[in-house]
Structure 1
Amino acid sequence: MKNLLKIISVFSIMAITVLLISNQHKTISEFTPSDNVADVLNHLGQPYPDHYISDFDSTDIKRGYDLIHVGKTNPPKGFSSSNISKFYTCTSCHNTVREDPTLTEVNQDERLKYAISKDLPYLQGTTFWGAVNRETWYNDDYVLKYGSLVEKAEKSLKESIQLCAQVCSQGRKLQDWEMKSILAYLWSLQMQVTDLEMSFEELDHLNKLSQKNEKDSAISYLKSFYLTKSPATFTDTPKNYNKGYNLKGRPEMGKAIYELGCQHCHHAYGESDLVLDNSKLTFKWLEKNIDTHTHKSIYEIIRKGTYSEMGHKEYMPLYTLEKMSHQQVEDLRAYVEQESK
């Protein structure tokens, strides 16, 4: 299913490019569901962001797709680029499709149910879908914890991409053509007005605000239909690992987290050396270590992640509270304990 989706994505690039190019710099007299959100905002007086590009084509998008999904591609000159990272691709931590049914709030359970219905990985990173429409990136507690390391990246998508390539992915700096290719691909994943699921009356109200030249109000109104940033809250492990977060776990939800989250990287030849299969032996090992204050405990690994070390660059990023709730951690624990018996 996932391979099929990738194939469909590749064959969709040409169609997407035609749509994007046709929408570039067009005069909008009345906003419609097929309009790009960035174009509507620009028409209302908000400048295009610094990461906006218009001089790209289907080849650029295809290269960007390869760089994000595979880690390398065919450059403008030469046969093949080197891998951005020896350890990860962007999709190790990020989806490239919509992952939230509601764009105006953070709701972990709804996101998980959506992932189940669409067979999507349940990951630590925010999806690249709509990334060009956000206004800040490494947000909130990333800034508080990492300070100057993420200072430039917080307000720059280009700096965020470079930071992720060099530090988060333990890789190298991107060349200019690679940055352009990645941005071209990300712009092919931008939001359209239809994605905001505005009613006819709401879209009509937006148009009336524009016609009355109430541009600021129109901009604020449009942005009320989606989050302009992905919130990030680092949270503590429970004080007592035996008691956990004192929430009753739901094994059926934990199963989905295990399969769509844990096993996304923890599989044979995956990003991690630790393989988490469906054997009773694996579940017994996980259950045994729940109460240990080491990286073998699900509480430690989910809330703190691990660090890159000499000789072992691979590490696991933490799940922020927005990406996995306390309830969902207990759901995972409940599933592990159920399967270990």
Structure 2
Amino acid sequence: MKKHLTIFGSLLIFSIAMIPAGFQRSLDASTPIATLLFDLGEVKPEHFIEAPTTEAILRGEEIVKLGRTIAPNGSQSSYVSKYYTCTSCHNVVREDPNLTVVDQDARLEYAMTNNIPYLQGSTFWGMVNRETWYNDDYVLKYGDLVRKAEKSLKESVHLCATVCAQGRPLEDWEMQSVLAYFWSLQMQIGDLNLSDSEKKQLAGPTLTDEEKIALIKSRYLQKSPATFVNPPDNKKKGYPYEGDPKLGKGIYELGCQHCHRPEGESDVVFDNSNLTYKWLKKHIPDNSELSIYEIIRKGTYAEYGHKEYMPHYTLEKMSDRQLEHLRAFIEHPEDAN
């Protein structure tokens, strides 16, 4: 009898070993993609937080949205920055209907439909699922500071807090709290718009684990591309596109007015008066930051005694055509209704 049990046990172990890796995996829409990737053999990144607590997530959310929170010892923490919060430049929700491409027009339409700010920075939604940060041309602005930040989310947070936000370094518990909050914003299987056949491939034995990892990663960008571009050579003519005032209104209200509002990050307020439109229109041809072309494409830098500044929009965050939409609205706001 013992011999039979031993043989049966050996056969059972052999049968289990013969089941292809990944077979019968659960693909519930709410399953985090990181969980599936780790299960398939993906190495956990340095910013991984194992089972973040609710308290840590809430502290991180307050730091991101309010700039400070209640510390673990019960005291009120100091502001990370006196000038900005993270959400001055970054959303915390999905921004793109298609996660596999950079499509400014689709992003703007998505923002207008869902009333999402149209900002310079990449969204924190899915931030932990990316593999690099401060990509491409950001080295032109931040130099060697980017070298560490590009491959590390922690260093990216540090760079953003100390340089971009003109603030202070985060304490260890603050960094862990922010990362915990970021993990609460990670992408899930349902976000990838997988076809039924792709779901079967991921759940079944036809693909190797490496092929499954590649399939998952093909459904979202691993980085947020960044290309710096110049204003048009002739600002009176602008870029060679015809602008749409209705789309320009969306950029103005969801982009410009996000910071240029009463009690906003900027001390320059853009309202919806004809006086403001005329002022903006007047300065369009200028070779100074008063021109929408100059300020949007080049931004400004923090100065001694005036730490507030405007980050510029990369090409991926606002296309040349979209800048013409904004100009068309400023010149003819009546056509946007």
TM-score by length of 2: 0.90
1:254 to 248, 251, 259: 248
CA offset at residue 152 of structure 1?
0.3
Which amino acid in the other structure matches residue 107 of structure 1? D
Alpha-carbon distance in 2 for matches of 1:200, 1:52: 30
Q: Identify the residue that residue 83 of structure 1 maps to in structure 2.
A: 79
Residue matched to 2:107: 111
**Is residue 165–residue 172 contact of structure 1 (8 Å, CA) maintained in 2?**
yes
SS at match of 1:307: coil
Q: What residue number does 1:270 align with? A: 264
2:132 is matched with 136
Q: Where do residues 114-125 of structure 1 align in structure 2 (5 Å cutoff)?
A: 114-125=110-121
Is the contact made by 2:132 and 2:222 (CA closer than 8 Å) also made in structure 1?
A: yes
Matches within 5 A, 1:272-287: 272-287=266-281
Tell me the distance in 1 between the aligned counterparts of 2:206 and 2:190: 23
> Using the alignment, how far apart are the partners of 1:297 and 1:150 within structure 2?
29
Distance in 2, Cα, partners of 1:145 & 1:339: 34
1:11 aligned partner: none
- 1:198 pairs with 2:194: yes
- The 1-side partners of 2:207 and 2:320 are apart by 46
TM-superposed CA distance for 1:236, in Å, is: 1.1
Give 1:218's aligned amino acid: K
Q: For each residue in 1:174-204, what CA deviation from the matched residue of structure 2 results, as whole angstroms up to 9, or x when unmatched? A: 0000001001100000001110011211111
CA contact (8 A) 1:287 1:340 kept: no
Q: Secondary structure, in 3 states, of the residue corresponding to 2:163? A: helix
The answer on whether the counterparts of 1:67 and 1:182 sit within 8 Å (CA) in structure 2 is yes
Which amino acid is 1:137 matched to?
A: W
| 1:10 aligned partner | none
Instruction: Report how many aligned residue pairs link the two structures.
Output: 313
Give the aligned partner of residue 15 of structure 1.
Answer: none
Secondary structure, counterpart of 1:132 in structure 2 = helix
Deviation at 1:340, TM superposition (A): 8.8
Give secondary structure in 2 for the equivalent of 1:312.
coil
Instruction: Give SS of 1:102's match.
Output: coil
The alpha-carbon deviation at position 254 of structure 1 amounts to 0.3
From 137, 143, 148, give the equivalent of 1:152: 148
Q: Does 1:50 align with 2:74?
A: no
Are 2:324 and 1:330 equivalent residues in the alignment?
Answer: yes
User: Structure 2: which amino acid aligns with 1:87?
Assistant: Y
Larger radius of gyration: 2
- For residue 174 of structure 1, what is the amino acid of its counterpart? L
CA contact (8 A) 2:24 2:203 kept: no
Matched residues in 2 for 1:143 and 1:195: separation? Answer: 31
Structure 1: which 5+ runs fail to align?
Answer: 1-26
1:43-86: CA deviation from partner (whole Å, max 9, x where unpaired):
11111111001142111011001000000000001320000000
The residue correspondences of 1:17-96 to structure 2 (distance < 5 A) are 29-96=25-92
The correspondence for 1:225, drawn from 219, 225, 239, is: 219
Structure 1 stretches (4+) deviating beyond 6 angstroms? none
**In 1: Cα distance, 2:333 partner to 2:288 partner:** 22
CA contact (8 A) 2:284 2:293 kept: yes
Cα displacement string for residues 263-288 of structure 1 (whole angstroms, at most 9, x for unaligned residues): 00001111001000011111100000
CA RMSD of aligned residues (A): 1.5
1:241 to 217, 224, 235: 235
**For residues 249 and 53 of structure 1, what CA distance do their matches in structure 2 show?**
45
Query: Is the contact between residue 281 and residue 340 of structure 1 (CA under 8 Å) also seen in structure 2?
Result: no
Secondary structure of the equivalent of 2:281?
helix
In structure 2, how many angstroms separate the alpha carbons of the residues matched to 1:328 and 1:308? Answer: 26
Q: How far 1:30 moved relative to its partner?
A: 3.6
**1:218 Cα offset (Å):** 1.2
Post-superposition shift, 1:145? Answer: 4.0
Whichever residue aligns with residue 209 of structure 2, its letter is K
Q: Which moved more, 1:28-37 or 1:60-69?
A: 28-37
Match of 2:182 in 1: 186
Identity within the alignment, %: 58
Could you list the per-position Cα deviations for residues 112-155 of structure 1 after superposition, in whole angstroms to 9, with x for gaps in the alignment? 11001111100000000000000001000012443211110001
